A and B are shown apart, each in its own frame.
Chain A
Amino acid sequence: MNAPAIWIVFPGFIAGILFLFRRWNNVITYSGAGISLLLAWTAWQVPIGEVLSLGQIALKIEPTLSIFGRDFTLEDSERTFLAVLYLANTLWLLGALIARPGNLFVPLEMGMMSLLIAALAVEPFLYAALLIEIAALLSVPLLASPGKPAGRGVFRFLTFQTLGMPFILFTGWMLAGVDASPGDLDLVVRAGVLMGLGFAFLLPIFPFHSWIPMLAREAHPYVIGFLLVMLPGFVSMFGLGFLNRYSWLRDSEAVYGLLRSIGVIMVVLGGLWAAFQRHMASILGFAVIIEIGLSLLAVGLGTSVGVSIFFVLFLPRTLSIITWAIALTLIGSRTNNDLSFNAVQGLGLKFPYLAAVILLAIFSLAGLPILAGFPVRFALWSNLAAMSPYLAIGALLGSLGLLVGGVRVLSVLVVKNDSKNHLIDNKEDTSITLSVDPLTPTTQVFFLLVGLVLLLVGLVPQWFLPYFEKLSSMFAQLAP
């Protein structure tokens, strides 16, 4: 038995099985969540590469699986990451019981997770670009709902993901040359440019981010929430893999400077755009752009603390976006899927619970004190300020922009507009149909729990964040 068979092949196989039974949505959702939780527990408890005694049976889980002469390797140091990932996956699957993103969500989500983990396990690691592309292709049926024409966002998403892959694959070949002759400056520059373009398309980095807000308007909020947490998360970890492996990249101050510059641009622009949006889902899209920028800034610090911050950002991001996405879905079910400010005006008075949850998520991502996003952002701002006050000001501006966006959402949700009927006056082109019952007891319990965790992480971060800091041990060269 080997680790990739357990955490990559098995969930992929399960995804196929769940696809066959997709008619029974609740059954496959509970099954998927149960299996995902089991995989998280296994990753937490079962060591890789050590002999395990189960009564009379001695069992050893090997770290490597070979397919067509290439290895997929999951080391023992990656177990915490796997546990966290499958725990987050369980949360996403349980959230689907409330958000109802369609009967394809569970099998395709499991399939995507399997592929994305395979992307981090494959050797040579550059083949990850191919697996990430396949995962992106797998998400397409989730992004375009049956019965409605596909929007431009999904085509742009598909285009950018497809264009990014060749750059990364060619970079891999060039980096082998750079390793052989690091003094060849032309080769280093060519490899650097190709790699930069590849990640700019895949992550996405400004100015190739345009599909995020477009897709956020077009697709089911829950699907877009999942995609925007998972895909950039895995691609940025893939990017960390580059820094971890190649000393000439890791030791180059220019690389970190570039990461900081791009990061601060994304945070500032994302904040500005978020402040002036008039669509609830677009604000979510720009919040994710800010998150990508913050991740780049964290890595751009060039220290082991920066890498720890990069991983710690994952917890508030996942919790906030999952809550936000479910709440948007529930609001959309009352406005014929229209999430523009005109349509949702005054809904906070009817559904104060939903309004509170959305604001909790936005303010947490903006880094408001006592919420989950604050401790890690405070650490990032402090480290940035020590490096350059301009970077810290830029990062703060981004958060301020999102905060302004949140205040605007609050004002729209609580100001009643009697002159219009938002169920009829629906001018936006909406591409999804949602059928959910807002505020069932399950929904309330889910929101209560996630909201409580968002508060607890903000109040007592020392209970939660060390587990995420430990994830940086996967990149031994970056966080020794």
Chain B
Amino acid sequence: MNFESLSPVAVGLLLITSLTILTSRDWRVIIGALGLQFLGVFVLVAVAWPANLAVVKLVAGWIASSVLGITYVSVGIVGDEKKIWPTERLFRLFAAFIILLAVMSITPRVADWVPNLGGYQVAGGLLLVGMGILHHALTENPFHALLSLISVLSGFEILYAAVETSSLVAGLLAVVNLGIALAGSYLLVSPGLEETS
């Protein structure tokens, strides 16, 4: 399968999903968008890696999304789905637009620095890193903070895939992704757990 030809679609998918995660308050939509985001990550990683290795990203990402989704349902996090003001959504979209402009302006330069990295991979990677950092900066909610960290890490994985194809690194990065989701889940559920000595 020629993943290179799918790269523009993947970048578009990453843009839509990251905007959705940034602006939505419905956890179902957010988890769904995160799952789709990993599909885009998989396509961009598969440009540099064999598909059977790149699929590790997809599986790990989907498991991480599921863990966060299940946690959300099981603890019934309160105060998160509060109504978002139109002005706040507008502000977030405007901030995202600035990130998009920054990504577009630095993509060619970064592509020059890293010889094996295609323009779409750079754009996709930087987009996720930028949106993730923006999301992290705009939230105090632990659930959203974890989502943003996972997004940043996914963006990095796209960029790093071009320079490193080791199976050990693929495995360790998958462990890190799952670890963030599990550690985050623990932090979300720990208030409801019984105290132990």
> With the chains together, A69 CA to B196 CA distance in Å?
42
Interface stretch (choices A152-160, A283-291, A464-472):
A152-160
Q: Are A130 and B142 in contact (CB under 8 A)?
A: no
Chain B: minimal CB distance from A221 (Å): 15
Report the stretch among B63-71, B91-99, B170-178 that lies at the interface.
Answer: B170-178
Q: Is A134 an interface residue (CB 8 A)?
A: yes
* B residues less than 8 Å from A165 (CB atoms): 176
| Least CB distance, B50 to chain A, in whole angstroms | 14
Residue B3, interface by CB 8 Å: no
Chain B residue nearest to A103 in the complex (CB):
B196
Q: Do residues A169 and B164 form an inter-chain contact, with CB atoms below 8 A?
A: yes
Task: Assess the A146–B195 pair: CB atoms within 8 A.
Answer: yes
Q: Interface readout for A296-337 with B: 1 if CB under 8 Å, 0 if not?
A: 000000000000000000000000000000000000000000
Contacts of A145 in B (CB 8 A): 190, 195
Q: Are A130 and B172 in contact (CB under 8 A)?
A: yes
Question: Across the interface, which residues of A come within 8 angstroms of B164, CB to CB?
Answer: 169, 173
- From the candidates B149, B152, B166, name the one contacting A69 in the complex (CB within 8 A): B166
Cα–Cα, bound, A146→B23 (Å): 31
User: Which of A138, A144, A146, A169 is B160 in contact with, Cβ under 8 Å?
Assistant: A169
* B51 in the interface (beta carbon within 8 A): no
Q: Interface segment, B6-14, B29-37, B39-47, B180-188?
A: B180-188
Residues in B with CB closer than 8 Å to A463 are none
In the bound complex, do residue A140 and residue B183 qualify as a contact, i.e. CB atoms below 8 Å apart? yes
Cβ proximity bits A118-149 to B, threshold 8 Å, 1 near / 0 not = 00000000010011011001101100111111
Given the known interface contacts A155-B187, A158-B149, the answer about A147 and B172 at a Cβ–Cβ threshold of 8 Å is no
Q: Contacts of B179 on A, CB cut-off 8 Å?
A: 133-134, 137-138
What's the minimum C-beta distance from A28 to chain B, rounded to whole angstroms? 13
Smallest CB separation, B7 vs chain A (Å): 21
**B85 CB-CB contact with A under 8 Å:** no
Contact flags A67-105 to B (C-beta < 8 A → 1, else 0):
111100000000000000000000000000000101100
Name the A residues within 8 Å of B197 (CB-CB). Answer: 25, 100, 102-103, 433, 435
Given A134-B179, A159-B149; A433-B195 close (CB under 8 Å): yes
* Residues in chain B near residue A190, CB distance under 8 A: 113
**Does A149 lie within 8 Å of B191, measured CB to CB?**
yes
Residue on A nearest B188 in the bound complex, by CB: A150
A149, A154, A162: the one contacting B149 at CB < 8 Å is A162
Interface of B, helix, strand, loop or mixed by DSSP: helix
Give CA–CA (A165, B191) in the complex, Å. Answer: 29
Q: Are B194 and A70 in contact (CB under 8 A)?
A: no
Chain B interface residue count, CB cutoff 8 Å, equals 36
B156 within 8 A of A: yes
Which residues from A are CB-within-8-Å of B159? 170
Q: Is there contact, CB below 8 Å, between B153 and A150?
A: no
B193 within 8 A of A: yes
For window 162-204 of A, CB contacts with B under 8 Å fall at 162-163, 165-166, 169-170, 173, 190
Q: How far does the alpha carbon of A130 sit from the alpha carbon of B194 in the complex, in Å? A: 32
Q: How far is the CA of A302 from the CA of B195 in the complex (A)?
A: 49
- The answer for the CA separation of A107 and B10 in the assembled complex, in Å, is 41
Instruction: Say whether B168 contacts A68, CB under 8 Å.
Output: yes
Query: For residue A68, which residues in chain B have a CB less than 8 angstroms away from its CB?
Result: 166-168, 171
Proximity string of chain A (419-459) to chain B, C-beta cutoff 8 Å, 1 when within and 0 when not: 00000000000000101000000000000000000000000
Q: A68-B166, A147-B193 are in contact. Are A158 and B176 (CB under 8 A)?
A: no
**B57 contacts the other chain (CB 8 A):** no
| C-alpha gap A166/B180 in the complex (Å) | 14
Contact present for A148 and B186 (CB under 8 Å)? no
B190 and A173 form a contact (CB under 8 A): no
State whether B190 touches A148 (Cβ < 8 A).
yes
Q: Which residue of B lies closest to A149 (CB)?
A: B191
A170: which B residues are within 8 A, CB to CB?
159-160, 163
Give, as a whole number of angstroms, the nearest-CB distance from B189 to chain A.
9
Q: Once the chains bind, are A166 and B160 in contact (CB under 8 Å)?
A: yes
Given contacts A102-B197, A127-B169, A173-B164, contact A155 B183 (CB under 8 A): no
Out of B142, B145, B175, B196, name the residue touching A134 (CB < 8 Å). B175
Contacting pair B190 A144 (CB below 8 A): yes
A141 touching B173 in the complex, CB below 8 Å, given contacts A102-B196, A150-B190: no
Q: How far is the CA of A158 from the CA of B180 in the complex (A)?
A: 8
A159 near B168 (CB under 8 angstroms)? no
Q: Return A191 CB to nearest CB of chain B, in Å.
A: 11
Chain A residues with Cβ under 8 A from B183's Cβ? 137, 140-141, 158
- Given A130-B173, A137-B180, check contact A69 B167 (CB 8 Å): yes
B153 and A137 within 8 A (CB)? no
Using a CB-CB cutoff of 8 Å, which residues 109-123 of chain A contact chain B? none
What are the residues of chain B within 8 A of A100 when measuring CB–CB? 197
Nearest residue, chain A, Cβ from B179: A137
CB interface residues, B 87-125, toward A, < 8 Å: 113
**Distance in angstroms between the alpha carbons of A433 and B196 in the assembled complex:** 8
Find chain B residues with CB under 8 A from A130 CB: 169, 172-173, 176
Note all chain A residues with C-beta closer than 8 A to B168: 67-70, 127
8 more CB-based (< 8 A) A-B contacts, given A141-B186, A162-B152, A170-B163 = A69-B166, A103-B197, A141-B183, A145-B195, A162-B149, A166-B152, A173-B164, A435-B197
Which are the 4 A-B pairs with shortest beta-carbon distances? Answer: A146-B193, A137-B179, A140-B183, A147-B195
9 A-B residue pairings within 8 Å (CB atoms): A68-B167, A127-B169, A137-B176, A137-B182, A150-B142, A150-B190, A158-B184, A159-B149, A173-B160
